[in-house]
Amino acid sequence: MTDTEKNIPFADISEKLWNDWKWQIENRLKSIDDVVRILNPSEKILEGIRTATKHFRMAVTPYYASLADLSAAHCPIKAQAIPSEKEALFLESDMDDPLEEDRDSPVPGLTHRYPDRVLLLVTDICSMYCRHCTRRRLVGHTDHPINMKQIETAIQYIADHEEVRDVIISGGDPLTMSDEKIEKILKGLRAIPHVEIIRIGTRTPVVLPMRITPSLIKMLRKYHPLFISTHFNHAKEITPESSRACTMLADGGFPVFNQTVLLRQVNDCPHVIKELNQKLLTIRVHPYYIYQCDLSLGISHFRTSLGKGIQIIEALRGHTSGLGVPTFVVDVPGGGGKVPLMPEYVLARSDDKAVLRNYEGAITVYTEPHRWDSICGHDPACGKARYKSLKGPGMLMTKPHTVLEPTNRIID
């Protein structure tokens, strides 16, 4: 037995096998028969699985399945892991690639949207296929890794573009790959002088915590500065096993950041998010983003209003540690990138004063300075080439032009 009590069907599994991440992947629940044998679901749940899996695959690690309560109306584990008939409902607003990652892909497997960073997709495999996945057009259709030649081509693109200083490795889940293959990718990126930081996006600490092994930590430590982005959505996912995995990562010197997705009837409550973020801090995971659920195919039942996300931030700001207040963002359709949304705290402004409110609703006046000159434009850093390539509204702040068209062409 492990720290998290296993369901009865798993009781005869030895501790050695249960803690073997490869065994967990090999024994994922991938069919109706698996779900019936392990979880004994109701006929209604089975019918939902049959309907949804006509369109999207299912795979759940035994560990994560052991946390589910299929009898509960709103079990957050069940909602994220077990397919539902709602996934077969496609709305007119649903999109195959809502973030236009393919459009911004100069070479296969790489998205270059922001000026100084790229997204490198190294696998289509996840240990669990989350029901709210935004990249379900790519992930989970097969269990075959991406050809290493494609990854090498993407790494060569990064090497050829000196403006890229930040690489986010994602997929699928990179940590479903072997230590050796992960290291080959990291070694290739670290050989590029202008790549300053590397991030790995992974949900294994949440759904497959036994993947975080001493040998993995030892290998990753060679490639600092390395950041880990993970994906807890509910405090129920913070178990002794997932806590241990995050502790190992933190002890290895890797800053660990969490990216929660706002999901209706899973975590769309200020109290639920507050509890999650406070518990994340106790295991040294920093709440980084709350994402508005994307417009991907078959996940409309998970989406909330934007107002719900703003309400949650309102309930966090000032009511808990600032470390526990993430940024609420919408990754806007059409490839526009992340747009942050927050409550309005500036009530009015004049040339010399601003009227502000605090988290309690108290209203105060802040007096503006009477001098407006700044170091900007005089500091040598402002003359560097990379600062001359500003796009968007920032251009209007630094250049004597008056109109910025959506194409970023300036009209004098």
**Residues with active-site annotation:** 113-114, 117, 126, 130, 133, 135, 294, 331, 338
Instruction: Quote the tokens at residue 134.
Output: 């935004």
Distance CA 129, CA 132 (A): 9
Distance CA 26, CA 58 (A): 14
**Residue 100: left (phi > 0), alpha (psi -120 to 50), or beta?**
left
Residue 248: C-alpha distances to residues 39, 124, 209, 218 (Å): 31, 26, 10, 10
Q: Residues 231, 211, 82, 101: what is their CA dihedral angle, to the nearest 10 degrees? A: 50
Q: Are strands 327-332 and 337-341 parallel, antiparallel or unpaired?
A: antiparallel
Place of tokens 């699928």: 172
Neighbouring CB atoms inside 10 A of 97's CB total 19
Distance CA 76, CA 354 (A): 42
Give the residue ranges of DSSP H helices in 236-305.
240-251, 270-282
Give yes or no for a cis peptide into 193 (omega within 30° of 0): no
Collapsing DSSP states into helix, strand and coil, what is residue 345?
Answer: coil
Place of tokens 């009837």: 265
Question: How deeply is 362 buried, as exposed, middle or buried, from its count of CB atoms within 10 A (0-12, 13-18, 19+)?
Answer: exposed
